[in-house]
């Protein structure tokens, strides 16, 4: 039979229709995906702040030295007071904006005495886009996330 051909694939028009439909679905899903990523970054940064505070508190009790989490802009570092005065940096500087893309609003210093009690406390707010989360440090060093 000279006129019959066997079809083993898709036509160009079928492929273009599939690509257009997939592109439309991606455009609908992209804003929601972006929101999920921002919310995840805020939660991750909040967890990092709590972890830094708990590390500082554990170090204060272990070494029997006043310790603090110091915020400068969007960075945080743990420091301990040396016996003769001065500060000892524990670990590296944590760049919360670089790691999570968040903006941090906080008191400059969260101080912890050698018994592990917070001195003064404060509220740390972590924000990115439309999402924000807070960590509240009570007067005795109790951590509350909201």
Residue spans of beta strands (DSSP E) within 1-146: 67-72, 75-81, 87-95, 103-105, 109-112, 118-119, 122-128, 131-137, 143-145
Phi and psi at 96, nearest 5°, equal: -70, -30
Domain extent listing, the chain: 12-145
Other beta carbons within 10 angstroms of residue 41's beta carbon come to 19
Per-residue pLDDT of the chain (146 residues; tens, 9 = 90+): 555 667 778 888 989 999 999 988 888 877 788 888 899 999 999 999 999 999 999 999 999 999 999 999 999 999 999 988 889 999 999 999 999 999 999 888 999 999 999 887 889 999 998 899 999 998 778 888 77
Residues paired with 77 in a beta bridge? 70
3-state SS class at 114: coil
pTM as predicted: 0.79
The dotted CATH code for 12-145 is 3.55.40.10
Q: Model confidence over 47-86: pLDDT tens digits? A: 999 999 999 999 999 999 999 999 999 999 999 999 888 8
């Amino acid at each position: 039979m000279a006129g019959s051909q066997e079809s083993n694939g898709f036509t160009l028009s079928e492929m273009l229709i599939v690509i257009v439909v997939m592109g439309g679905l991606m455009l609908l899903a992209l804003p929601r995906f972006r929101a999920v990523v921002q919310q995840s970054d805020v939660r991750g940064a909040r967890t990092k702040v709590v972890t830094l505070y708990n590390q500082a508190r554990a170090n204060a009790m272990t070494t029997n030295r006043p310790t603090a989490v110091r915020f400068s802009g969007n960075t945080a570092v743990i420091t301990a007071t040396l016996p003769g005065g001065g500060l000892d940096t524990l670990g590296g500087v944590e760049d919360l904006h670089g790691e999570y893309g968040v903006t941090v609003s906080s008191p400059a210093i969260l101080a912890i005495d050698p018994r592990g009690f917070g001195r003064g406390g404060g509220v740390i707010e972590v924000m990115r886009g439309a999402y924000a989360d807070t960590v509240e440090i009570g007067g005795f060093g109790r951590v509350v996330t909201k």
